[in-house]
Amino acid sequence: MPTGPLTSAELAQYQQDGYLILRKLFDDDEMNRLLDFAKSDPALSASAYGRKDATGMETKLALWNEPGENLYGMFARSPRIVDRMEQLLGGEVYHWHMKMMLKEPRVGGAWEWHQDYGYWYHNGCLFPLLASCLIAVTPSNRENGCLQVLRGSQQMGRIDHGKTGDQTGADMERVNAALERMELLYIECQPGDALFFDGNLLHRSDQNLSEHPRWSLICCYNAARNSPYKVTRHPEYTKLEKVGDDAIKKWKGE
């Protein structure tokens, strides 16, 4: 399990590539707790909704603006994520939102090429000072539609986005030009691995045509100094109360 702050080499890699993978940021016990909780959580199944890709296949997700006191919140408020986010974004951060992505076997749809700031720009954030941490809840590989990234594509800045199926996708003229010039990587992960990535990094995922689910928890953060200038569906700056490093294992539920 990685300990301590990010090194200068890790920070430099993130700035160059637009992402950083920390293997086993959370241990097996913590991830088993999360998976068991999510599977039995009626609120998750009740709030999950679908997004169809360009072919009509659907991926489900549930999204929350507040980290809360439940087990999802213990992850989103964990210093293992938040402290590193503050390094990456250069100061205090707050919880922007988090989502559980549920790409089910044989039916889970693709996510089209996009940048997260391609969406969040319209939520009143003047600067691209946002980043996400994707935590693999189940194994994630090419067969079940793992995340794909274009290394260094965050350096392009925000590009135009438009509707693709039920989703909002990046301008494919620019994406295709980027694909000719930049390295495409498949981010294969085991439960507990964490991918930190820039809000302008181009990423996508394939359909899940395997027999195995691909679940992930994505915790998103905004720099405190980048609070939206207008009211939208995502929150303005609210101080994020970190929990102890042992909060996940201590959490007993309500």
- SS3 assignment for 62-103: EEECCCCCCHHHHHHCCHHHHHHHHHHHCCCEEEEEEEEEEE
Per-residue model confidence (pLDDT) at position 163: 75
| Cα 136 to Cα 116: distance, rounded to the nearest angstrom | 18
Mark the ranges of the chain whose per-residue pLDDT is less than 70. 108, 164-166, 254
Question: Hey, what are 231's tokens?
Answer: 């009211």
Per-residue model confidence (pLDDT) at position 164: 67
Question: Hey, what are 142's tokens?
Answer: 């090419």
- For 32-75, the pLDDT digits (tens) are 999 999 999 998 988 888 777 777 777 888 999 999 999 999 99
- Ordered domains of the chain (ranges, CATH): 8-224 (2.60.120.620)
| Cα 66 to Cα 95: distance, rounded to the nearest angstrom | 7
Per-residue model confidence (pLDDT) at position 254: 59
